[in-house]
Every structure is written in structure tokens, then in C-alpha cells.
Amino acid sequence: MTATKLFPVVCAGCPCLCDDIGIAVQDGHIVAETNACQRGAAFLAGLRQGPIRSWIQGKEVPVEVALQAAAVRLAAAVMPGILGLSESSLEAITAAVALVKTLHGIIAPWPSDPTRTWGQQAPDLARSWAEIKTCDLLLCWRADPLRVQPRLLDRLTVRGSRPRLVVVTDGRQDNLTAAIADHVLRFPDTEDLSVLRNLRFHVEKQGPLQGPAAALAQRLFAAQRCHIFLGKETATEEVVTDQCHLLAAHLLKKVRISISPLAESVHVRGVTEALTWLTSFPGPVSFALGEPQYRPGVWEAERLLTHGLVDVALCLGPCPAGKCVRICMDRQEHPEAEIAFHVPGLSPLLDAHVMRPDGIMLRLAGIEVAAPDPVVGLLQQLQWAVQEIGS
Ligand code: SF4
């Protein structure tokens, strides 16, 4: 490719997955971009370009050699796991499910989508962007959309106006969203539980409101529909999310509240949906007995690794730390892995698809001819090699 004209692509630098980005390509490399935000420009500039490279124990080897070694490791594993997927294309997720079936292993996305387990407790959870737009209050609870999803607030703006914005922060860390918020509540995260309990006690028994709970109540009770974005740490604090859900349930007749984590990874919702189509279950699934089995909470990626439940992990993209043998396929280099493949990631030069959090499927490359996702080819070759070893 020698042309330098701009062609339209999707940026996979954050879950916004902006599809109004232009890139110029010269000799197969991205040489310029237009319309990306700062984070997107850094993402596009940092993408791996060029052929796949591979290493065994830190020594660079031909890809075929690394693939054969990976197949031997996976075929010999007692319980192999395929983990990660949050930066994988839908095509790669499909190939990963086919491989894990052959391996009789476990597939576990990471980071996991907490709304999957919350769904058992509260019915009104992750509203789509279209629904959040209709809210009159957006509460960012230790979440910073301007930092992790820079264009999310633009998407929630209708005819120049967006929901009122209240940010809860401890004030110690820079919260970019706080600078444009209508109101900022500053208190340490150690008070989250007591503030939420105070608010709920007030709603249930007309108990007195104190400090931040009083300020929060004032904003919340003036709203009709509120969406709460929980920051990364808060979203995994079960006691805090439970209190949010209880509050939402008690306020049902006064304020309609929905809650979702503010994802930082591209595909947290997309992986949940793709796994549901492919395995019938929305999270970690084991094929150890042939038929898919689903045990939420037990087969989460972190638990599998910390409890030694998988002995060989094939990590597709970012994965939690663990002590088992790791085979990595990622846009980042992994010198610590036993076997590593350096791949392009969700590059706009690929003819592959991703899913936005509102369920819209997007092709990474625009109208230009593009290459298939090489991770798909690697996973298929691994599957064939494992089948050959087993035959
Ligand atoms: S908002 Fe996200 S998807 Fe859009 S250009 Fe910025 S990093 Fe890329």
C-alpha cells in the first residue's frame, strides 16, 4: 500500500470505539490520523505494526516453532485456560472458544463484567447510551469518564445539553471530569459505605442525613432518572455495589436509578455478549467435561490463577498475574511469559469486528481493503496442532 489518502476507521483506544477517525497509511503503516482524542492518538501511535514476532523463554524464535511449543504445552496441561479477551476481535473470541472446546479447558474473560453477577440482584442495571441520555442526573462515583472514555459525555449530549453531572471523588487524585461537573462531592472512599447507608436509612426510616449524604440526597431527590457510573475499584466492592442496588430498589418510586461500571477495557461488555452467543453463558465457561458449564464467581480469571485451578494459561491481551505457565498473545511484549506472540492488537488496519457497549458491532477498518486478524490464524493453527498431538 503506498497511498496516503485518509480512510475511515474505528479507534479501539477505549470503549467509546469512535468510528469517525481517519488514518493515512503508507507501506502498511499508519502515518497520520485525524479526529482522535489525545488518548486515541497515543493508542494508534503505539500499535504494533509489522509481522508477528514470537519468543520462547525470552529468545526470539520463528512463529511456527513457538506455535508448536505452545500446542505441546496446552495439550499436556491438566486444566488449560484461555483468559483475557478484552482486547480481542469478535473473530478472535470465536476462534478462542473453538480452541478451548478442543482443549477441554476453561475460558474466562478478564476484566470480568460485574453487571453479569449483579443481574441476579437488581433488574435495572446497565442502560444503553440511548437510555442514559434520557437521565437528568449522571453520578460518577469515583469514576472519571473524561480520562478513561474521553468522548462518552459527548455521546450523552442531546441538542447541546447533557445530564447534570455529579462527581464523587476523594480529591487526592486528579479527576478530569470533576473540572466540568455541576457538583463535586469530596470524601475518602473509606466513607462510601457509611454515606450510602446513611442515605438508605433516611429513605427507609426518615433518619437524619449527615455530611456528604445530605449533599448527595439533595441532588438525587431532585432527579427523576439517574445513572450511576462506578469507578474500577468501586465496581468490584461487593458491599458498596449492594448498597447502591438497595438504594435503587428503595427509591424506585421517586428516582429511577440504574448502575454500571465505567469500563476501561475495550470489550468488557462485548466479550460477555459474544461468549453468550457462542457458549450460551455470559462469563467463564468450562469445557472440561465436553459440555459447557458455567460457575460465576468460581471460574473468574483471578481466582483460576491465584488458586492454581489452571496450570497453563493462554492469555489473549491483558490478563491478571498468576504463577502458572503463561502463553501470551498481546500487543504488549511479555518477556516474563514462557511463550509470547507479539500481535497487532485491535488495529484499524484489520478486517475484524468489535462490539460497542450499546451492542453495536463495528468493523475496525473502514472502506479500505484490510488484512484479517492474525490472532485468528494463530488460534486456528494451535487448534489443529493440538488435535494432531491428540490423534
Ligand atoms: S474517545 Fe476513545 S475511542 Fe474515541 S478517539 Fe478517544 S480513545 Fe479512541
Tell me 365's DSSP state.
B
pLDDT at 353: 96
Q: What is the Cα–Cα distance from 276 to 367, expressed in whole angstroms?
A: 29
- Asked which of 78-82, 176-180, 303-307, 357-361 is least confident by mean pLDDT, the reply is 357-361
- Higher local confidence (pLDDT), 6 or 83: 83
Q: What is the Cα–Cα distance from 39 to 322, expressed in whole angstroms?
A: 29
- Maximum distance among all Cα pairs of the chain, rounded to whole angstroms: 71
Summarised one tens digit per residue, pLDDT across range 186-240 is 999 999 999 999 999 999 888 999 999 999 999 999 999 999 999 988 888 888 8
Atom of ligand 1 nearest to the CA of 152: 1
pLDDT at 155: 87
Pick the residue whose CA is nearest to atom 3 on ligand 1: 17
Q: How far is the CA of 8 from the centre of ligand 1 (A)?
A: 14
Q: What is the Cα–Cα distance from 114 to 119, expressed in whole angstroms?
A: 9
Is 36 a pocket residue for ligand 1 (Cβ < 6 Å)?
yes
Q: How far is the CA of 21 from the centre of ligand 1 (A)?
A: 9
Q: What is the Cα–Cα distance from 316 to 350, expressed in whole angstroms?
A: 17
- Higher local confidence (pLDDT), 383 or 303: 383
**What average pLDDT is seen over the chain?**
90
* Residue among 196, 261, 216, 225 nearest 137 (CA): 225
pLDDT exceeds cutoff 60 at 124: no
Task: Say which residues have a Cβ less than 8 Å from residue 213's Cβ, sequence separation at least 6.
Answer: 195, 196, 198, 199, 202
Which residue among 9, 17, 18 is best mutated to probe the pocket of ligand 1, counting the most ligand atoms within 8 A of its Cβ?
18
Mean pLDDT, residues 285-292 taken together: 94
Atom of ligand 1 nearest to the CA of 12: 3
For 293, list phi and psi in degrees, rounded to 5.
-125, 145
Summarised one tens digit per residue, pLDDT across range 316-363 is 999 998 889 999 999 999 999 999 999 999 999 999 999 988 788 999
Summarised one tens digit per residue, pLDDT across range 12-52 is 999 999 999 999 988 888 889 999 999 999 999 988 888 99
Is 9 a pocket residue for ligand 1 (Cβ < 6 Å)?
no
Mean pLDDT, residues 242-265 taken together: 86
CA angle 219, 221, 222 (to 5 degrees): 65
Mean pLDDT, residues 72-91 taken together: 96
pTM of the prediction?
Answer: 0.91
Q: How far is the CA of 150 from the centre of ligand 1 (A)?
A: 6
pLDDT at 1: 44
- Of all residues in the chain, the percent with pLDDT exceeding 70 is 96
Is 14 a pocket residue for ligand 1 (Cβ < 6 Å)?
yes
Cβ of 157: how many Cβ atoms within 10 Å?
11
Mean pLDDT, residues 350-378 taken together: 91
Is 348 a pocket residue for ligand 1 (Cβ < 6 Å)?
no
Question: Would you place residue 152 in the very low, low, confident or very high pLDDT band (cuts 50, 70, 90)?
Answer: very high
Q: How far is the CA of 9 from the centre of ligand 1 (A)?
A: 12
Which residue among 20, 35, 43, 44 is best mutated to probe the pocket of ligand 1, counting the most ligand atoms within 8 A of its Cβ?
43
pLDDT exceeds cutoff 60 at 385: yes
Q: How far is the CA of 288 from the centre of ligand 1 (A)?
A: 38
Task: Say which residues have a Cβ less than 8 Å from residue 146's Cβ, sequence separation at least 6.
Answer: 153, 176, 177, 179, 180
Question: Would you place residue 68 in the very low, low, confident or very high pLDDT band (cuts 50, 70, 90)?
Answer: very high
Pick the residue whose CA is nearest to atom 7 on ligand 1: 40
Question: What number of residues does the chain have?
Answer: 391
pLDDT at 48: 81
Summarised one tens digit per residue, pLDDT across range 85-123 is 999 999 999 999 999 999 999 999 998 777 766 655 554
